[in-house]
Structure formats: structure tokens, C-alpha cells
Amino acid sequence: MATVEVLDSFMSFSDVGAGAVPVVFLHGNPTSSYLWRNVIPHVAGQARCLAPDLIGMGESGKPDIAYRLADHVRYLDAWFDALGLDEVVIVGHDWGGALGMDWGARHPGRVRGIAVNLVRGRLGTLAEADHDVYRAPFLEPASRKPMLAWAREFPLDGEPADVVEVVRRYDRWLADTPDVPKLLMALENGAGLGSPELIAWAAANFASAGTR
């Protein structure tokens, strides 16, 4: 893993492969870039693949911040700037999808394509060794603040208002950009936001969207 200074801390990230337009893989809660360990090898032969650990998660720094969506946006923006990234393809899971869609909405013309997995959970088993990797950054109670903060950011009944506005903004961007290909990914046995009804709604409302 490489590291780069961002704002008052640092972010760790993997960087493999080569290509003109990087593919940026963004994980969700409560995971890390380890989430993409079995995906990136299939892409690295065709493109540069970058996968950061979001601030406070994985091997990235843990500054004394609230870890709200707005905080992750600031640190992720600083990471994009530090790496000098211009046009990108974004692949996002869970809150990583939200961050990717928000980045696209705020940086028109710089996203060449976007793929998001809306599933927040999966019914099934995970090897104990994989559990250990995901647990490692959160062994102490104080280190679990990012996980709790993410759970509290989920927009319900119009709150938190700033998060709702972010979602509305990137929904408009997704609907109004037919020039940006979009892929909606679902899993068998997916739970939560990966319901067939939500996937169907997104496919019908996002311009140039396909499902898999």
C-alpha cells in the first residue's frame, strides 16, 4: 500500500496496472480497499487501478474529526488532488458509491463512467481471515467512530438535511448525463439497498444506465 498526505492526515491506497484513464475503486462501511482484492486483478491488465482506504478506515490515518459524509468528501477530494487525477472511471460500493456519485456531480466532465453496487449487506459467510482484516482498524472502541458516523448519515425523513441535498444533487447528475455510462450492480442474496425494486428504479431514472 502507498500513502499520501491529505489535509492534516494521510490516506493509504493501492495502485496497480497502467492506462490513460484510471479506475478508482471506493469502498463502503465498515470495509477498506481490501474489499476489491478479487476485483482489481481482473481490471489491472487494462487500466490503472486505484483503491484508497477512506479516512479513518483501513490503513489510513484517523484524525480527530466527525467522520460525516462532508468530512469524507473533503479528504477524498484532497486525495484526488494529491494524485493529480483528472478523468476517471469510478467504481463504488455502499457509501463509496455515494462518494463517487457525489464526486462526479461536483466535477462535471471528469467521470468517463461509473459503476455502483448499492448493496449494503450480503447474506452469506465470510472467511475468518477476511473478518480479521476488516476488524483490524477498529479494535479499540474509539477507533470505531467512523463506522458509527456512517450509520448516522443514512438519510431518513429528510435528515440529515445536508446529506439529503447531496443525494438529490447526484441523483440529478445521474439523470442528466447520458454521455456518462452507468452500471448498477446487484448481488444474489443482497440485502438492504440492493433490492430489485431499487435497482429497477435506478435503471429507469439514471441516464445511460445498465444493470448486472
Q: In this structure, what CATH number is given to the domain that contains residue 197?
A: 3.40.50.1820
In this prediction, residue 164 carries a pLDDT of: 97
How far, CA to CA in Å, does 137 sit from each of 52, 56, 67, 86, 196? 14, 8, 15, 30, 33
Which tens digit of pLDDT belongs to each residue from 63-108?
999 999 999 999 999 999 999 999 999 999 999 999 999 999 999 9
Taking every pair of Cα atoms in the chain, the longest distance, rounded to a whole number of angstroms, is 45
In this prediction, residue 12 carries a pLDDT of: 98
Please state the domain count of the chain. 1
Residue showing cell 479513518: 56
Residue showing cell 438535511: 161
- Residue 6, Cβ neighbours under 10 Å: how many? 23
Domain hosting 142: range is 2-211
Q: Say if residue 189's pLDDT is above 70.
A: no
Which tens digit of pLDDT belongs to each residue from 12-61?
999 999 999 999 999 999 999 999 999 999 999 999 999 999 999 999 99
Q: Which three cell numbers stand for residue 116?
A: 455502483
Q: Say if residue 121's pLDDT is above 80.
A: no
Mean pLDDT of the chain: 92
In this prediction, residue 198 carries a pLDDT of: 77
